[in-house]
A and B are shown apart, each in its own frame.
Chain A
Amino acid sequence: MDLSLLPQAIVSGVLASGLYALVSVGLALAIGVIGIVNFAHGEFFMVGAFLAYQLFVGFGFDPLLSLLFVAPALAVIGALIYLSSIRFVLRAPELNQMLLTFGIGIILQNLALLIWGGDPRTIANVPYRSLGFQVGGVSIGAVPLGSFVISLVLVAGLYWMLASTPLGRAMRAVAQNRIGAGLVGLEVDRVYLVAFALSALLAGLGGVMIGVIQSPTPTVGLGFTLKAFAIVVLAGLGNIRGILGAALTVALAESLVATLVPNGDALRNMVFFAIIFVVLVWRSRRVA
């Protein structure tokens, strides 16, 4: 174990946590407000990444510019999925809802495989990709830093929206009591629709950024679904406030294991799964 790498590991972990928070906050929104555990959430992320790639290849759009196009596109995709399927299972057994979203995930992933094939896609020639600077032996890349800042701004925006806008209040009311919210005149169905579209939109924006950071394949979605689950489960299912802390914990744990444990890079995924597993099992024991 090489402790001189510790500062770098911590900085990388913190920078990654922004993106993780962005992905998982959308999942938490769907769970908290609509009560749908969306197994297709990571696929929104993947779709965002590939739309950014397509905009780059087709029109030479800079990913930063693509953010403006991917956001409405994902909101529309999310809304369509809600209207065509999710809406009909809101009162169905929990497991039917889960299987439905799992099926939607399979469709999205394989649609992407049909369109783009299985090879990784890189958004090449981004001028700021290799930019970065050094602070006391720790290198900070412009892209991770930028994605961290953008993600935090978006998550903060969501928090603000939930706290102090009529729409946000409506979402919180629906989350607390669906029937009560309906009784005081809220259009519950509309709120659900907006919440689901917003959830897809946030994931899609995260996807654009990962499209720049990595070279994604159409199968990255499941991995991000699981990462988001790890964070959401750690924060408590449906708890939106706790996401930031949980994302930071998970990202730091991943970064520390990957950097400090010999040959730890292959263990990255295991960290998430270990967290999911331990938290779920520990919670269930405490309840029992």
Chain B
Amino acid sequence: MRGLTRDLVVTAALAVLLVFLPAVLREVFGRASVSYLSLATNALVLAVLALSWDMLARTGQLSLAHAAFTGAGAYTVAVLFKLTGAPLWLGIPLGGLAAAVLALGLGSVTLRLFGIYFAIATLAFTEVLKAAVQRLPTAVAGGAAGINVPALFRPTFVAGSMERWEVAFLRNQGYFWVYAGLLVVAVVISVVIQRSRLRAAFTAVRTNEQVAGVMGVNPARMKLLAFVLSSFVAGLLGAVEAHRLGSVSPDGAFSVHTTVLALVTPIFGGLYTTLGPILGATVLAGIEETLKRTFSEGYLIGYGIVLVASILFMPRGLVGLGSKLFKRGGASASGTTGERA
């Protein structure tokens, strides 16, 4: 348990850092901090998405349905505010819960599907869900056009006491903090998994399900647990993203893009670790911003290249590359054996 304490202290330090980051950016960059802040927010979104996908992958289930769960979170929020006058912050936890319930349903059907079969079935599931949402009555789910979602933050411009750009800054800062909170939630879940007996159980299920069963691990229960946790975080993320974007539509909420980002990032950063997805997200968010500015359509090609190159040249990701370099240099790797938390 000492490892867990250490990881939680590091997480707390990360949280403190994130709390003060907007103010620091503002001091250093002034007006330009608005766009730096939204870039940092994108990195946080990517990190949460990647970390939640990785939790599921730890049990050997490589999901191509991550968009289904962020989409479920987003639509929960949208439908909630369309139909009722619920309090503004209620939608986010409900979005997480809805995604978790959906995962419980899908997970219990796909429990016996291995590897490729699981991937194919999940890819199909996203499309079914998208089509189903499109076919719901327009009065409920808005049809193909989608639904508008209220913003979480509406800072007002006060003439004299602030400049114009500060309104956008305050808005971005709000979302940045919400996503920072989500990241902390995701990291805590991930770290607890990695530092408890669950890690051994997940790894056993991933490497050999039969053997895991013999060792007294219940593979079905482990797979479902990972699925529910992963989807809960994905649902929270989708819900906040719906608020930030201001609207949801079937094509946007259930886009393959989301699934691609969710799986490329941890593979690039390093699978089955907490650090890997975060590291991957930080690097990729920067690359993505550059690509988006260069190409209006087709910027996702960068992710394809990163994915192919990662699999061919560094199957253990940035984290694996890093630990290899450390060992070669002879520096003490603080007693880590193999995988890091």
Contacts and interface: CB of A to CB of B under 8 A. Distances in A.
Interface of A: 37, 85, 88-89, 92, 94-96, 98-100, 102-114, 117-118, 222, 226, 229-230, 233, 263, 266-267, 269-270, 272-274, 276-277, 280-281, 284-285, 287-288
A118 B128 contact: no
Given A107-B305, A274-B128, A95 B115 contact: yes
Interface of B: 60, 62, 64, 109-110, 112-113, 115-117, 119-121, 123-125, 127-128, 131-132, 134-135, 256, 260, 263-264, 267, 295, 297-301, 303-308, 311-312, 315
B123 A226 contact: yes
B90 to A, nearest CB: 32
A281 B109 contact: yes
6 contacts: A89-B312, A95-B116, A104-B304, A107-B308, A269-B131, A280-B110
Those 5 A-B pairs whose CB atoms lie nearest each other, nearest first: A106-B304, A103-B307, A113-B298, A110-B301, A107-B304
B113 A284 contact: yes
Contacts of A114: 295, 297-298, 301
Contacts of B127: 226, 269-270, 273
A267 B305 CA distance: 34
Given A95-B62, A226-B124, A277-B124, A104 B113 contact: no
Contacts of A272: 124
Nearest to B291: A110
Contact of A277 (B125, B134, B264): B125
Contacts of B263: 99, 102
A177 B37 CA distance: 56
A274 B311 CA distance: 31
Nearest to B61: A95
Contacts of A103: 264, 303-308, 311
A135 B132 CA distance: 36
Contacts of A100: 307-308, 311-312
A99 B113 CA distance: 17
B291 to A, nearest CB: 10
B52 to A, nearest CB: 18
A273 B311 contact: no
A284 B112 CA distance: 6
A266 B298 contact: no
A270 B128 contact: yes
A102 B121 contact: no
A233 B307 CA distance: 26
